[in-house]
Amino acid sequence: MLENAVARRYAQAFFAIAQEKNELDKLEEELRFVIETINSNPELKMVLDHQLVAPEEKKEILSNIFSQELSEITLNFLAVIAEKYRAPYIEEIYKQFVGFANEAKNIAEAYIKSAQPLGDKDLAAIQEKLSKATCKNIKLINEVDPNLIGGVVVRIGDKVMDGSILRRLDLLKEKLMQISVKEIGVRN
């Protein structure tokens, strides 16, 4: 819970700067690059997350790694994060930032689970229908889950639309379990 609250505050601050400077897409891409770099290097992640490594050391490390790839805005933001011992929250900060950026750009992420990968034509049709239903630009993320048997499950934010065969079978099972033996009628 604390992680979300801390990340939200820092993401809001970085988002406000990105909007003010009219560099929302650029700063989102830079922050994504930082996350990918940190996650691809376990030693770097360990140093940044460690509470006994001095903030000055962390700032120097971040500067050495990113000074050629990032804008001054992002470098300064990383320095503040290091100085305030918030480096362990950087991935959650990024997620919160993307949420703010998507909201500002009227984008909603839709996660689609299907038993098999969906084709481009199917994804485009689903994207169009979801865009009309939500009045947002939809960014689709297709996940494959063979357990679904068939159909799809769509999640946008906290809303889930379950049109999977697995769900239908579960509903049928529940209905059958509710029927008592008397209702079936035993024939002699």
Query: At 36, which CATH number?
Result: 1.10.520.20
Q: pLDDT at position 74, please?
A: 97
Instruction: Quote the pLDDT of residue 159.
Output: 86
With vertex at residue 49, the alpha carbon angle to CA 95 and CA 38, rounded to the nearest 5 degrees, is 55
CATH number assigned to the domain comprising residue 133:
3.40.30
pLDDT over 70 (residue 115):
yes
The answer to whether residue 187 is domain-embedded is no
Residues 95, 118, single domain; the answer is no
Token readout for 10 is 């820092």
For residue 28, what pLDDT band results from cuts at 50, 70 and 90? very high
| Whole-angstrom distance, CA of residue 12 vs CA of residue 22 | 15
Whether residues 87 and 171 share a domain: the answer is: no
Shared domain check, 90 and 12: yes
Q: Could you give the CA distance from residue 105 to residue 16 in angstroms, rounded to a whole number?
A: 14
Same domain, 99 and 27: yes
Same domain, 98 and 123: no
Judge whether 12 lies within some domain. yes
Domain end marker among 103, 118, 147: 103
Q: Which three-class secondary structure state does DSSP give residue 181?
A: helix
Same domain, 98 and 79: yes
Looking at the domain assignment, is residue 83 inside a domain? yes
Do 22 and 95 belong together in one domain?
yes
- Most confident segment among 20-34, 114-128, 131-145: 20-34
3-state secondary structure of 187: coil
CA dist 18 and 93 (Å) reads: 14
159-162/152-156 β-pairing: antiparallel
User: Is residue 31 pLDDT above 60, yes or no?
Assistant: yes
91 and 79 together in one domain: yes
> Considering the chain, what is the average pLDDT of its residues?
89
Residue range of the domain that includes 121: 106-178
* Pair (153, 94) in one structural domain: no
Scan for tokens 């509903």, then name that residue: 171
On whether both 95 and 136 belong to a single domain, the answer is: no
183 found inside a domain:
no
| Confidence at residue 39, expressed as pLDDT on a 0 to 100 scale | 95
Whether residue 184 has pLDDT greater than 80: no
Same domain, 8 and 75: yes
Domain count for the chain: 2
Please state the rounded mean pLDDT for residues 15-41: 96
For the stretch 40-85, pLDDT in tens is 999 999 999 999 999 999 999 999 999 999 999 999 999 999 999 9
Confidence category of residue 175, pLDDT binned at 50, 70, 90: confident
- Give me the residue label for tokens 């889950």: 145
Q: Could you say which of 68, 103, 138 is where a domain stops?
A: 103
pLDDT value of residue 179 = 74
Tell me how far apart the alpha carbons of residues 120 and 117 are, in angstroms, rounded to a whole number: 10
Rounded CA separation 89/11 (Å) = 10
Assess whether 167 and 84 both reside in one domain. no
Above 60 in pLDDT, residue 182? no
The residue ranges of DSSP E strands in the chain, in sequence order, are 107-114, 137-144, 152-156, 159-162
